[in-house]
Structure 1
Amino acid sequence: MNRLVPIKTKEDIFPEYRDTPIGDLLEYHDLEREFASYDSAQLLVGMCMDNRKHLNIPDNFSYIIRAGGANLRYSEFKVSFAIAIGNVKHIAIIGHSNCGMVNLASKKENFIGGLVDKAGWERSFAEEHFNQFAPLFEIGNEIDFVLSEVKRLRNRYPKITVAPMYYKVEDNKLYLITED
């Protein structure tokens, strides 16, 4: 976890993000900066659908796409919309501790049983569903996945600043992730 940088002062924010919407996000959430008023989104946040995470940000400050593991591969049209129509120039990709999209194979039986018991699915359909989609949504290690997703988005949108972040569920704080 030595790749995680806590934000305790504004100086902890990497210089390339300081005084940008990414820095503002970190200041609002971790440093409890007083909210400014916004008429339009300043950035796009891609984060996990996990219900344990909540960002402390002002209204209208950000587009937010929530997808399992902060995997935006299947939300790319929405990313493009935020850039082309919403005029955002900054993206924060936020993974988090204890993500359910890590080690999906260990959850296979609970997943299948849950669809059978709670949704009324036939077991064979639930198993086929898991086998078809789990490989698409498995993220491996949270930090490594965030870094790979940031790299992918930077290649796809070269004029957009994309920052890797990590949300510790244990302390409800955002951390910057150092890149090699």
Structure 2
Amino acid sequence: MNGLVRVDSESDIFEKYIGTPIELLFRYHNFAQPFDKFIDAQLLIGMCMDNRKQLKIPNNFAYVLRSGGGNLRHSEFKISYAVAIGGVKCVAIIVHNKCGMVNLFSKKDQFIRGMVENAGWDEKHAEEHFISFAPIFEIENELSFLMREINRLRIIYPKILFSPLYYNLDDNFLYLIADDN
């Protein structure tokens, strides 16, 4: 996986994340470090809604926003709330391999059929729904989308540490992105 850095030990964590909640995230998830107790969230995590991934983190450690593809467009107020009221200074956005939001338009017929059969919609309404929302949630490539999203949010929140991360469904590990070092 070109551009990805598997984090197997503390020495693999980029220096800019040492001593931050990102380091703790890796310690809990990848290294199975025993959980500490938290009263307040240490970071906000934006990640895909996909049911195949589950982070190993302690209670109260993080605010977690889940959306298709880890796409946080239209979630800026939620991020702002976590920063302004929750006091978080660090945000991790996590994408993963085999994401259903990649090449979303190839799933149009399946989507329409599923809405008709499972939700009781008529075909025209289901197609209009897909056409209205698929462009918002389509991501052509997980990593390029992630870096664009991270860079967009870094401009909006210049004092917040944003960390682009990758969840590999094949080994259930979190990876760093080499382009971010």
TM range (shorter): over 0.9
| 2:1 matches 1:37 | no
Structure 1 residue 103 displacement after superposition: 0.3
Unaligned runs of 5+ in 2: none
Task: Write out per-residue CA displacement over residues 124-169 of structure 1, whole angstroms, 9 at most, x where no aligned residue.
Answer: 0100111111011001100111111110110110000000000001
Counterpart in 1 of 2:147?
A: 147
Per the normalisation by structure 2, the TM-score is: 0.98
d(CA) in 2 for partners of 1:153, 1:139: 17
Task: Write out per-residue CA displacement over residues 30-74 of structure 1, whole angstroms, 9 at most, x where no aligned residue.
Answer: 011121111100000000000001000111000000010000012
d(CA) in 2 for partners of 1:3, 1:19: 24
Unaligned runs of 5+ in 1: none
Structure 1 residue 106 displacement after superposition: 0.8
d(CA) in 2 for partners of 1:2, 1:125: 41
SS at match of 1:170: coil
In structure 2, what residue type is equivalent to 1:16? K
Counterpart in 1 of 2:25?
A: 25
d(CA) in 1 for partners of 2:23, 2:127: 43
Structure 1 residue 178 displacement after superposition: 1.6
RMSD: 0.8
d(CA) in 1 for partners of 2:27, 2:2: 21
Stretches (4+) displaced over 6 A: none
SS at match of 2:75: helix
Counting matched residue pairs gives 180
Structure 1 residue 114 displacement after superposition: 0.4
Counterpart in 1 of 2:112?
A: 112
Per the normalisation by structure 1, the TM-score is: 0.98
| 2:38 matches 1:15 | no
Counterpart in 2 of 1:160?
A: 160
